[in-house]
Structure formats: structure tokens, C-alpha cells
Amino acid sequence: MPRDPAWVPVAGIWVRQTRPQIAADEAITYDARWQRAGTPAVYLADNEQTAWAELYRGLAERRIAPGDVFPRDLHHVSVDLERVVDLTAETARRALGLPRLRQTSLQWPSFQAVGERLAAEGAHAIVYSSAARTRARCLCVFAAGLPRLTVASEPVRVLSPPPPPRGLRT
């Protein structure tokens, strides 16, 4: 783990899908790729197609039909983060001792350790390649970055599963 990670800024509109009644900037506190249960984080996607791909990938791994989790709310969130670690490149992940990004939660423990360490070092977020969609990016925003998120618009309620996005990997 580098002592002084190279911080990059990330700004713009990102997308999140949630169960109804969950706020766009409400942190999750259960196990996910970059944090362990109890550690707050918000996961965002670079666009709507990536948000759906990430949902569908997770559902496929747990063998849940998409129709079983709808309706969903689609949120647009404005981010203005300064201290973001860019782990989109394989070389950047390898430098931190991380394996190649796979579409399985079995590899999460090594990613969680890195994410929690970066959060403890003051990272606002990690930007990384989507495990579910070719050439797409995702953003895991830690507690230090949460105040820098702004709801960009009211959520859109999606009543039934949209078609699988192009480039979806499950």
C-alpha cells in the first residue's frame, strides 16, 4: 500500500439505483467490494447502464431474478470529490496487492482491506472499473466524501427491470 496515494479529483453527475425510499446519498453499511459491514459508503456508477449492470451482476451471483427486486429508484448524484484514489488501471490495483477484478464477492476481503485502509488515510472515494460492464467506471464514496455529494434531481421510479445493458458481464 503506498503511503501517499495519488489523489485525483472526480466531479460530475453519477448514478445510483436503490430500493424505494432510500435516499440518493444514504450510505450502506453492509459488506460490499470496498468496505466491510458497519463501514458507511455510497456506491455510484458512471451512467444508468452501468448502475443496472452492477445490480444485475449481483443478482446473478445470488441467483435472484431481476423482477424479484423491482421497483427501484434511479438517482442522479452530483459529486465534487478531491481525494479520490484511481484504481481503474490493472497496474494501480496490482501495486496495492489486489487481484484482477472479477465478478465475484469471493474476492471482496482483499478489496475491503484496501478500501478501509484508504478510507482511514482520508480518501474521499475510490474510482474503479466496473466488474459488471466493459469500459465502465464505478465510484465508492467513503464517509469523508459523503458531505460532498448532492442530490441532483428527484429519483425516477423504475417499476420493472430494464433490458440488460450492453457489455454486461455476470
> What b/e string do you get for 48-62 counting C-beta neighbours within 10 Å, with b at 16 or more?
bbbbbbbbbbbbbee
For residue 61, give Cα distances in angstroms to 65, 92, 107, 128: 10, 26, 13, 20
Query: What pLDDT, in 10s, does the model give residues 106-128?
Result: 888 999 999 999 999 999 999 99
- Percentage, residues of the chain above pLDDT 70: 97
Q: Is the pLDDT of residue 19 over 70?
A: yes
Collect all residues with Cβ–Cβ distance below 8 Å to 56 and sequence separation of at least 6.
Answer: 66, 132, 164, 165, 168, 170
- Residue whose grid cell is 484496501: 114
Instruction: Please compute the mean of the pLDDT values over residues 49-74 and round it to a whole number.
Output: 95
Segment 67-111, tens digit of pLDDT: 999 999 999 999 999 999 999 998 999 999 998 877 778 888 999
H or E element, residue 41: strand 41-45
Q: How large a percentage of the chain has pLDDT more than 90? A: 73
| Alpha carbon 157 to chain centroid, angstroms | 20
Strand partners, 47: none
Per-residue pLDDT for 3 more than 50? no
**Residue 82 DSSP code:** E
- pLDDT at site 169: 82
Answer whether the bond into residue 164 is a cis peptide, omega within 30°: no
Grid cell in block for residue 68: 424479484
Q: Which residues contact residue 63 at a Cβ distance below 8 angstroms, ignoring those fewer than 6 apart? A: none
pTM over 0.75: yes
- pLDDT tens track for 137-157: 999 999 999 999 999 999 999
For position 166, what pLDDT does the model report?
84
Report the mean per-residue pLDDT for the chain.
Answer: 92
State whether the Cα torsion 10-53-143-149 is positive or negative: positive
Query: Averaged over 30-48, what is the pLDDT?
Result: 93
Q: Taking residues 30-38, what's their average pLDDT?
A: 89
